[in-house]
Chain A
Amino acid sequence: MSEPKPLLKAVKPLQVPTRLWRGYAFATDLWRPTANEEAIPSAGYALISLARWRIEQADVLALGTPIGIFVGSGETIEPVTDQIEQLSVIALEFAKFSDGRAYSVARRLREAGYTGEIRATGDVLIDQIPLMLRSGFDAFEVAHAATVNALEQGRIPAVSRVYQTGADTGPAGDGFRHRRGTRSTSAAGKTEP
């Protein structure tokens, strides 16, 4: 007795080539993941691992080109030092959409004053994008077909009323019942209250 094991493996959702969605529009992605042993391209725009960043920080910054890091599920950036502001992009992985650790990593970064791009990567689905926006993400690598479709058609689940202040809801104006109003489609993740 007790819950039986399902007979069939979960049906795999349709995937498409990954696209970058940022500022409420699809954008060309200049960034490439760079393996630990690989040399960083001369033009930069490399996403290196958190471990590599920790070890080679000085060398990497000395290159003077745009640099970003990739943080896997379960990795935390602790402590968040001032050097983090040198990173143009921090990509946080959702290994599974139900693994919510990256929400906290993003919040910590924003609370520490990080102003660069925080990008969601991995199992990024339309229903979670509003939560990610409120947690400080402003860019999304999307490979799920239905999510790409929804974004193309501007069908982001409406969240006009929230009970918590968040990264994109501005300062705590009238306490924590923060009314959002309508979302602007051009601003880079910032919304008029």
Chain B
Amino acid sequence: MTSVVTANDLRSGAAVYLSQGGVWVADLDRASVATSAADRQQLEALALAAVERNEVTAVYAFDVAIVDGKPTPTSVRERIRSAHAPTF
């Protein structure tokens, strides 16, 4: 099960993704992908630290498929979110 951890930036509300070294990025392509339970735990620990530093809020993980080497959401909701824009 491959997944990505996401949140909303506390100040701006923008959708952000957890990437290498615990940096939050807007671009889903640059998100860290967890492929094991150990990966997940590590990402969760980084996310918790960011919550406690009041950087992000509403943290959760969602499933991705790897397409052309890039994490791609499997749900419509996360696709829309990663585009940071409505679809019409």
Contact = CB atoms under 8 A, between A and B. Distances in A.
A137 B67 CA distance: 60
Q: What does DSSP make chain A's interface, helix, strand, loop or mixed? A: loop
A61 to B, nearest CB: 51
A1 B77 contact: yes
Nearest to A9: B48
A5 B60 contact: yes
Given A1-B76, A6-B60, 13 more contacts: A1-B75, A4-B60, A5-B60, A6-B59, A7-B5, A7-B44, A7-B59, A7-B60, A8-B44, A8-B48, A8-B59, A11-B48, A11-B52
Interface in A64-86: none
Interface of A: 1, 4-8, 11
Contacts of A8: 44, 47-48, 51, 59
Contacts of B77: 1, 4
9 contacts: A1-B76, A1-B77, A5-B60, A6-B58, A6-B59, A7-B44, A7-B59, A8-B48, A11-B51
A133 to B, nearest CB: 30
A11 B61 CA distance: 17
Contacts of A7: 5, 44, 47, 59-61
Contacts of B75: 1
Nearest to B40: A7
Contacts of B61: 7
Interface in B23-78: 44, 47-48, 51-52, 58-62, 75-77
A4 B62 contact: yes
A120 B88 CA distance: 51
A27 B50 CA distance: 38
A7 B62 CA distance: 10
A117 B62 CA distance: 51
A117 to B, nearest CB: 37
Nearest to B43: A7
Contacts of B44: 7-8
